[in-house]
Amino acid sequence: MKHAEIILTPEQQSMRREELRADILRPLQKISFLGKLWIAFLVVIILIGGYAYIQQLKHGLIVTGLRDYATWGIYISNFVFFVAISLVGALISSVLRLTNFTWYRPLTRIAEIIAVAGVVWAGLIIIIDMGRPDRILNLFLHPRIQSPILWDVVVISTYLTTSVLLLYLPLLPGIAICRDRLTDKPKWQRWMYKFLALGWTGTPDQWKIMKKSITILCVVIIPLAISIHTVTSWLFATTLRPGWDSTNFGPYFVAGAFLAGTGCVIIGMYVFRKVYSLEKYLTDAHFGYMAKLLVFLAFVYAYFNINEYFIPYYKMRGPEARLLTDLFSGQFAGLYWSAQILGMALPAVLLMFKSMRKPLPVTLIAIPVVVFAWVKRYLIVTPILLHPYLPIQNAPASWMNYFPSWIEIEIVAASLAGVLLIITLFSRFFPIISIWETLENEGIELDELDELNNTKNEKA
Amino acid sequence: MEKEDDKSDRRKFLKLGALAGGVVLLGSAIGKAVSLDSTKETGEKVKVLTADGKLMEVDGCNMKHPAAVKLTNQEMRKGIEGKKFVMVIDLAKCANARKCVEGCQKMHHKQAPTEWIKVKRMQDAESLTPYWMPQPCFHCDNPPCTKVCPVDATFKREDGLVMIDNERCIGCRFCMAACPYNSRSFNWSEPIIPQGMEAAEYSIEKSFPAKIGTVEKCDFCPDMAREGKLPDCVTACPNGTIFYGDQNEDTVTNGDQTFRLKELLTNRSGYRYLEELGTEPRVYYLPPVNRDFPFENDTIVHNTEDYKII
C-alpha cells in the first residue's frame, strides 16, 4: 500500500504531480454561487447568535433555560461535544501515522481542521456559559490548581497550540504552492501566502526539519488528546452526584469522542469529495476504511456504555436508580434509546455489511452518529443535575425541568455554524488535501517536486 | 508553638467564663460581648454561660460592644479566631412553618424563588412516616464545592465556614454542580437591592450586596456572630428547631434552650445527612423521634413564584 506497484517514469511522475496540484488547487480558484450562499448562511447564523449573546450579556443568564437545579445545559453539552470531535485530529493524523497505516494520508487535513475548529469553539462556548465573562482574567490572577477547570484551561490551550502546529507544518509546502501558483488572487491573499509559507522552498533541510517536527508533534498529541477529554470528563466525575460519580468516565468520554469525530470526518470527506470533485483522492476505499474504523470504535464505545449504564442498573442503588429509570423508561427514554441505537448500535451493525461501506450509505450512517453524539452529551449533563440526592421541592415549575431557551439555541446554532465556517473558509484558502503526503503515498519523490517548483520560481 | 499559645490563651479565656460570639446572652445582654478588661463596676448584672456549662452573673462593665472595626477582605477570608461554627437541627421540632426560610430571605434581602435555607419533606422509606427537614448550607469540613473553584472565590475558613467572594466569582457554576446537596443559588439576573442600600459596600461576611452572574448561598451569618447575635433562621423559628453555636465552646442554642453540643448529639443520637459521602458537614440533625407535632402534609405549594422575566 505504501508505494504504488507500478514504478512511474519521471515524466509520468511529473504529470501526476501537475494533475494532483491542479485538482487540489481548483477549489481555491473560484467560489461558486452556492459556495458563497453557504458562507453567507453561516455568517447570518453567527450574527443571530452574536445578537443573542449580547442579550445574555445585558440581562444575565436569566435569558437561558438554566436555573438553580439544571445549572448546566446545552452550552456545556455543546462544549463537551466540541472537545469530543476535536480528538479525531489526533486519532487520524497521529495514531494511524504512528501505527504505520498509510491510507489515511489524504484525510489528515480534514481531520486536523475539524480538530482545530472544534477546540476553538469549545473554548468560546465555555466563556459564553460563564456568568461573569468580564472576570475571565481571575483564572490567571487567582488560579487554584486543585480545580479541574484550571486543568482544562491548560490542556485545551496546549492541545489547541499543538493541533494548529500539526495542521500548519504539513501545510507549508501547500502554502508555498499557493504562493507560487495563485498569483491572480488579491494582494492581501498573496501576501498571506507569502507570509505563512515562511519562505518554504522545499530544500532537503526544510523537509527534514518539517518531518521531524511532525513526528514529535504526533507523539506529543496523543497524551494531550487523551488528557483534554479525560479532564473534560473529570468536570463531572470529580463531583459526588449520582450518575457523574463514576470511575469509568475518562475512557467512556475518550471512546465516545473518537466515534463522534470519525463520524464528522466521514461527513467532511463526503462533502469535500462532492463539492470540490475530489473523487480521485477521497476514494471509495477511504470510505470503506473509515466505515470499518467506525464499526470498531462503536464497539469500543458500546463496551464503555455497558459499564457506565448497565452495571449501575444491575445494582439499582438508591439515587442512581431514579436517574436510570428516568433515562431508560422516563422522560429521557426517547432521547436515550435513540442515542444508543441510532447513534451507536445500528451504525455498527449496518456497516458490517460490505454493501453499506460505499460513500453515500457510510455518510448517511455517519450523520446520526454525529447528531446523537451531541444528544448523548446533553444526556450526560442535564438529567443528572435534575436527579440530585435531595428531592427537588418547593421550586417554581421552571426549576423542575430544563428546556433550552431561544437565546441558548441561537447561540449553540451559531457555535456549530462557527465550526463549519472555520472549516469552509480554511478549505477555500488552503488545499484541503495534503499534496505532498498524497504524492509520497504514491511513491513520487518529493525533492523533485519542489526543485521543479523552485526552477519555475526563478524563471518567473 | 504558636498554636499551643493560642490554645492556652483560649483556656484562660474560657476559665474566666467570658466568651465572645456564640456565648448565650440572656435578655438585654444579647448583642454584647464579654471582655477581659475590667473597669468600674456598674452594678448591672448580666448572665453568661461558662465553658463548663454553668450560668453565672458578671458585672455589666465586663460587657462591651465590639468596636465597629472594618474588616479587610483578608480577615473575612480567614474567619473568626478560635471559633468552629456548628448547627444542630432538631427534626422532632420542625412543623414546616417555613419561618426560617422567610427570616433568612428577609435578613439577606433575597426574593423568591431563592431560598438559602430550604424545608424539604423527607420520607426515608414508604413504610416510614415522613418528616420535615430544614436544609441550610452544611459548611462541610471536606467541601466538594471549594475544591473545584478555579479562582478561590469560594473557600473554607478557619472557623469552619464555607464562604463566597462575589467580587471574584466568575460564574462557572462548577461549585453548584459539585455540591451534592444543592445548597447553592445563582444570581441569574440583576439582583434586586432594597431601596437605600444600593450604595452599600460589598462584604463577604454579609454576602451583600448580591452580584449578578455569581453564586451565593447560606453563609451561617458570621457578621451576626461577630455581634453576638444569632442568625435569623434560628430566631425566626417558632418551635426552636435550629440550634447554632461553637464547637470549640461545645455549646449550641436556639435562643431559648442551650445545650452542650456533645451531650445533645449523644443523648439524641445526632447524625449528619449522607455521612457516607465523606463531606463532613458542620450541620447535625437530631432524628424526628418523640415529635412535638404529628406529621401533617403541607396543603400549600410554596415558592412557586418565578423570576420576573425581563
CB of B214 less than 8 A from some CB of A: yes
Determine whether the interchain pair A135/B168 forms a contact, defined as Cβ–Cβ distance below 8 Å: yes
Q: Averaged over A410-416, what is the pLDDT?
A: 98
Whole-angstrom Cα distance, residue A195 to residue A186? 14
Summarised one tens digit per residue, pLDDT across range A304-361 is 999 999 999 999 998 899 999 999 999 999 999 999 999 999 999 999 999 999 999 9
User: What confidence category does residue A97 fall into, taking pLDDT thresholds of 50, 70 and 90?
Assistant: confident
What cell numbers appear for A80 in the block? 463537551
Min Cα separation A211/chain B (Å): 39
Q: Three-state DSSP class for A85?
A: helix
Q: Where are the beta strands (DSSP E) in A246-367?
A: none
- The Cα–Cα gap between B90 and A200 comes to 77
The pLDDT tens digits of the residues spanning A7-41 come to: 677 788 788 888 888 888 888 888 889 999 999 99
The class that CATH gives domain A27-386+402-455 is mainly alpha
> What is the structure's pLDDT at A436?
85
**Please, which pLDDT band fits residue A455 given cuts at 50, 70 and 90?**
very low
Average pLDDT of the residues in B109-120: 94
Tell me the mean pLDDT in the region A160-166: 94
Q: How many residues does chain B have?
A: 310
The C-alpha atoms of residue B292 and residue B92 are separated, in whole angstroms, by: 6
Taking the domain B73-286, which CATH number applies? 3.30.70.20
Mean pLDDT of B225-245: 95
What pLDDT score was predicted for residue B52?
A: 66
Nearest-by-Cβ selection for A61 from B147, B180, B213: B213
CA dist B158 and B193 (Å) reads: 30
| Per-window interface: A 48-67 vs B, CB < 8 A | 59-63, 66-67
- Cell numbers placing A56: 445574555
Query: Rounded to the nearest 5°, which phi and psi values hold at A445?
Result: -60, 140
Distance between CA atoms of residues A206 and A215, nearest Å: 14
Query: Rounded distance, CA A108 to CA A270, Å?
Result: 14
Q: What angle is formed at CA A131 by the lines to CA A130 and CA A135, rounded to 5 degrees?
A: 80
Q: How confident is the model at residue A181 (pLDDT cuts 50, 70, 90)?
A: confident
Compare CB distances from B170 to A72, A130, A239 and report the shortest one's residue: A130
Distance CA A331, CA B196 (A): 47
Tell me the three cell numbers of residue B43. Answer: 452594678
pLDDT of residue B305: 85
B66 Cβ partners below 8 Å, 6+ apart? B20, B33, B226, B227, B228
B121 touches chain A (CB under 8 A): yes
Confidence of residue A371 (pLDDT cuts 50, 70, 90): very high
d(CA A329, CA A391): 19
Residue A367 CA to chain centroid, in angstroms? 14
Q: What is the pLDDT of residues B37-56, one digit of tens each?
A: 445 666 677 666 666 666 77
Whether the CB of A140 is below 8 Å from some CB of chain B: the reply is no
Q: Phi, psi at residue A103, to the nearest 5°?
A: -60, -25
The C-alpha atoms of residue B302 and residue B98 are separated, in whole angstroms, by: 9
pLDDT in tens, A257-278: 999 999 999 999 999 999 999 9
* Band of pLDDT at residue B65, cut at 50, 70 and 90: low
Q: Is the pLDDT of residue B169 over 70?
A: yes
- Spatial CA neighbour of A151 closest among A46, A247, A228, A256: A228
The confidence score (pLDDT) of residue B62 equals: 67
Average pLDDT on B27-36 reads 41
Residue type at A249 in one-letter notation: F
The verdict on B184 touching A (C-beta cutoff 8 Å) is: yes
> Structural domain boundaries of chain B?
2-64, 73-286
Best to test chain B binding among A56, A64, A71, A145 (most B CBs inside 10 Å): A71
Between these two residues, A177 and B44, which has the higher pLDDT value? Answer: A177
What is d(CA B196, CA A103) in angstroms, rounded to the nearest whole number? 72
* Alpha-helical runs (H) found in chain B: 2-15, 73-78, 99-107, 144-148, 174-178, 222-226, 232-236, 261-267
Asked if residue A450 has pLDDT above 70, the reply is no
d(CA A185, CA A180): 11
The model's pTM: 0.89
What cell does A350 get? 449496518
Strands B154-156 and B251-253: unpaired
| B123 in contact with A, Cβ within 8 Å | no
Which of B120, B301, B310 lies closest to A390 in CB terms?
B120
Cβ–Cβ contact B276 with A under 8 A: no
Average pLDDT over residues A373-383: 96
- Report how far residue A254's alpha carbon sits from residue A237's, in angstroms, rounded to the nearest whole number: 14
Cβ atoms B88, B272 nearer than 8 A: no
Mutation to test the B interface, candidates A130, A144, A145, A408, most B Cβ within 10 Å: A144
What pLDDT, on the 0 to 100 scale, is given for residue B16?
41
The minimal CB distance from B181 to the residues A62, A141, A390 is found for A390
Q: What is the mean pLDDT of residues A139-163?
A: 95
Is the CB of residue B213 less than 8 Å from the CB of residue A131? yes
**pLDDT at position A90, please?**
80
Across the interface, whether the CB atoms of A60 and B304 are under 8 A apart is answered no
Q: pLDDT tens-digit profile of A216-243?
A: 999 999 999 999 999 999 999 999 999 9
State pLDDT tens for residues A114-126: 999 999 999 999 9
Going by pLDDT thresholds of 50, 70 and 90, the confidence category of residue B73 is confident
Q: What is the pLDDT of residue A102?
A: 82
- Predicted complex ipTM: 0.91
CA distance A228 to A250: 10
A395 interfaces chain B, CB cutoff of 8 Å: yes
Strand-pair category, B184-186 with B215-217: antiparallel
Which residue does chain B place closest to A145, by CA atoms? B150
B173-194 pLDDT tens trace: 999 999 999 999 999 999 999 9
Using 50, 70 and 90 to split pLDDT, how confident is the model at B63? Answer: low
**Contact state of B173 with A71 under an 8 Å Cβ cutoff:** yes
List the grid coordinates of A355.
454493501
Mean pLDDT over the full length of chain A: 91
Determine the Cα–Cα distance for residues B160 and B78; give it in Å rounded to an integer.
Answer: 10
Residues A426-436, mean pLDDT to the nearest whole number: 91
> Could you tell me if A130 lies within 8 Å of chain B, comparing CB atoms?
yes
pLDDT digits (tens, 9 = 90+) for A290-318: 999 999 999 999 999 999 999 999 999 98
pLDDT at B21: 40
How many beta-carbon contacts under 8 Å exist across A and B? Answer: 156
Side by side, which strands form the sheet with B258-260?
A: B258-260, B251-253, B242-246, B85-90, B283-286
> Nearest to residue A88, comparing CAs of A236, A202, A258?
A258
Q: What is the CA radius of gyration of chain B?
A: 20
DSSP state of A276: T
* pLDDT over 70 percentage in chain A: 95
Longest Cα separation, chain B:
64
Rg (CA), chain A: 24
CA distances from B206 to A214, A355, A447, B220, B226 (A): 56, 69, 72, 10, 11
Residue B84 has pLDDT above 80, yes or no: yes
Peptide linkage before B209 cis (omega within 30 of 0): yes
Question: What is the enclosing helix (H) or strand (E) of B217?
Answer: strand B215-217
Confidence band of A412 (pLDDT split at 50, 70, 90): very high
